[in-house]
Structure formats: C-alpha cells, structure tokens
C-alpha cells in the first residue's frame, strides 16, 4: 500500500460505511423526484458515482500496464456521463440494489488503490485535448469527486450528513 493513499482509502471506507445506511433509509420521493442543478435525481447521482468508480478502476488498471500517456475514453466529457445515466436507466434501478452496487464498487476501488504499483504513479491519462492527469492525481481526485456528489445528495435529501 502506498502510504500517501492511506488517508484517501480510509476516507472512502468511512464514507461508504456512513452513507450506506443513510442512503438505504431515504424515502422514495427524495430519491426519485427531487433534482439537483444538473437535473439529476438522487438515484441518478448515485448511478453516476457507480459509473465514476467503474471508470476510475479501469483508468487505474490501464495506467499500470499501457504506455504513458494513456488514451482512454473520458465518459464525463461532452455530456457523455448523462448518456451513461440515461442508457443504464438508473432512475428505474432498484434502490436497494443500487446502494449495494455503490458500496461494493467503492470497496473494490479501495482494493485497487491499495494494490497500485508505486513505479506507475506518474503515468499520465489524457483526460481531454491538452490535459493530462497522473495516476497519483486521479486517486486523490476520486475522493474529491465522491464527496462532491454525496454533498449533492445531502442537499437534495434535506438531511445533514
């Protein structure tokens, strides 16, 4: 385990542990009707976080065996993350299943982070034309992104988490 990632890993573990029961207890009106500034419901935001975990796992893996800089699609540009949400129809996903998927995929992200090859931390991913992100930056950025969207869920639910 790379020592600098231990706080990131511990924060992800704590967020999942704290949020799983809170998410599970949210009423249907909160998860399916209320919308954020991007016109996403809580279900769609959580689905987006599942997509983020999945895509970041793939990026972390690719950055450890492919030549740097790595070209790998950025699902979040040009509205593609909204396409992912719509195509997978998170709005109609069973809420219990979606919460469990979010929990388990984040546990897997932690496992993947714990097994990163330290020699690969400076490998770069081409995030967009003219913008690269190192594997190191990606790991730290994942936690920031997770917190951002959990904050949106907190605002939509009207609960303080």
pLDDT tens by residue, 60-94: 999 999 999 999 888 777 668 899 999 999 999 99
**CA torsion, points 42, 46, 48, 50, in degrees to nearest 10?**
-170
Whole-angstrom distance, CA of residue 69 vs CA of residue 77:
18
CATH code at 94?
1.20.120.450
Phi-psi region of 69 (alpha: psi -120 to 50; beta: other; left: phi over 0): beta
Phi/psi at 61 (nearest 5 deg)? -65, -50
Residue 78 has a pLDDT of: 67
pTM of structure: 0.94
**Total count of domains within the chain:** 1
Element (H, E) at 149: helix 135-157
Q: What is the pLDDT of residues 105-133, one digit of tens each?
A: 999 999 999 999 999 999 999 998 899 99
Residues of the domain holding 140:
3-157
């Amino acid at each position: 385990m790379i020592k600098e990632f231990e706080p990131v890993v511990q924060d992800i573990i704590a967020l999942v542990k704290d949020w799983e029961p809170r998410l599970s207890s949210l009423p249907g009106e909160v998860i399916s009707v209320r919308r954020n500034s991007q016109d996403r419901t809580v279900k769609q935001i959580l689905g987006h976080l599942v997509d983020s975990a999945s895509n970041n796992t793939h990026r972390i893996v690719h950055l450890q065996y492919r030549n740097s800089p790595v070209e790998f699609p950025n699902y979040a540009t040009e509205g593609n993350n909204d396409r992912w949400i719509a195509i997978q129809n998170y709005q109609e996903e069973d809420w219990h299943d979606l919460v469990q998927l979010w929990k388990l995929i984040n546990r897997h992200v932690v496992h993947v982070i714990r097994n990163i090859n330290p020699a690969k931390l400076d490998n770069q991913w081409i995030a967009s034309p003219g913008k690269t992100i190192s594997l190191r930056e990606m790991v730290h950025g994942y936690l920031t992104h997770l917190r951002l969207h959990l904050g949106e869920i907190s605002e939509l639910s009207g609960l303080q988490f």
